[in-house]
Structure 1
Amino acid sequence: MKKIIFAVIILLNLTAFSQTEDSLNSPKRLVQDFFEAFHAQDTVKLKSFATDGVKMESVSMDAEGNTKLISEDYSNFIKSIASIPSEVSFEEKLHEFRIEENGLLATVTTPYSFYYNGNFSHSGVNSFQLVNFNGKWKIVYLIDTRLKQKL
């Protein structure tokens, strides 16, 4: 009887450990870690989440109502985050996570509201395209929308 109880305890611990490992290396976790580093202005971590050549784009509307698509180099994004003065506060509040994972590819979509010095700035949706390289998720493409009204 003691052997059976011991075996059950071992199996439960292995299952719990594997779930913890999976949750630490998931598409959702990568995006959560990305925003933690973003808010902390941790450019080293931000750089580590993406592949070389990652593509970034933003979609918005100009004053005349025309759709604009702006491409940005990820290294310029990281430099802009590093250059935000310490007296400035900014927060991107994520409202939910929509995750579609299929083997080596995952899409994480996060509606958000952005606040600058405590005031609403804009809202939109982030869409992260991730690829699993040898067991580690990396951002290969990031596109967002930017709207002046709240979602």
Structure 2
Amino acid sequence: MKTIFTLICILSFFNLKAQEPEQAKEVVVAFFNAFHQQDTLAMKELMYDSVKMQSIGMSKDGELKLSTSSFDSFLKSIAGIPENVNFEERILDYQTRSDALMANVWTPYEFYINSELSHCGVNNFQMIWDEGSWKIFYIVDTRNRQSCD
């Protein structure tokens, strides 16, 4: 009985360690590919059952502002971007950490509208290992319109 328990523990350990950080990064890459194609269905497939989205920035008065939006309103805004508007979120780096059931992908970015820099900041994707794949359950970003050096 002790041998069976030990074997189960060892197999569980290797199963949980199978989720490599690279797999979490691939989900974020797929997210941005779908984002740029305005493919909201593909974006939904990458998400967990419930998703929280927040942004941190400064108001026009210089006050720190934390805003929350629903994932559905985010999808509507992406789908509603007119064809004559060219938008691109350039990801500058991917920093990934994972610990069995949770992963974090940190992505500094620059956001361009019609080839002009709109703002910059960092995205932070929190993921959960669910039914054999990473799913995004929380996205928070910073938005800096002042200095994007």
Q: How would you bin the TM-score normalised by the shorter chain?
A: 0.7 to 0.9
Q: Deviations over 1:59-80 (max 9, x none)?
A: 0001222110110000110011
Q: Residue 150 of structure 1 aligns to which amino acid in structure 2?
A: C
Residue of structure 2 in register with 1:49 after alignment:
46
Residue of structure 2 in register with 1:83 after alignment:
80
Residue of structure 2 in register with 1:34 after alignment:
31
1:136 to 127, 133, 136: 133
Whether 2:142 is the aligned partner of 1:150: answer no
Q: Residue 131 of structure 1 aligns to which amino acid in structure 2?
A: I
Match runs of 1:1-151 below 5 Å: 26-148=23-145, 149-151=147-149
Q: Residue 144 of structure 1 aligns to which amino acid in structure 2?
A: D
Identity %: 43
Where in structure 1 are there 5+ consecutive unaligned residues?
1-21
Residue of structure 2 in register with 1:4 after alignment:
none
SS in 1 for 2:25: helix
Moved more, 42-51 or 105-114: 42-51
Q: CA deviation at 1:35?
A: 0.2
Q: Residue 60 of structure 2 aligns to which amino acid in structure 1?
A: A
Q: Deviations over 1:7-65 (max 9, x none)?
A: xxxxxxxxxxxxxxx78x81000000000000000010011111122000000001222
TM-score, normalized by length of structure 2? 0.83
How many residue pairs get aligned? The number is 130
- Separation in 1, partners of 2:100, 2:48: 18
Q: Residue 61 of structure 2 aligns to which amino acid in structure 1?
A: E
Q: Residue 148 of structure 2 aligns to which amino acid in structure 1?
A: K
TM-score, normalized by length of structure 1? 0.82
SS in 1 for 2:41: helix
4+ aligned runs moved over 6 Å, structure 1? none
Radius of gyration: which is bigger? 1
Q: Residue 97 of structure 2 aligns to which amino acid in structure 1?
A: E
Where in structure 2 are there 5+ consecutive unaligned residues?
1-18
- Separation in 2, partners of 1:137, 1:46: 13
SS in 2 for 1:113: strand
RMSD: 1.6
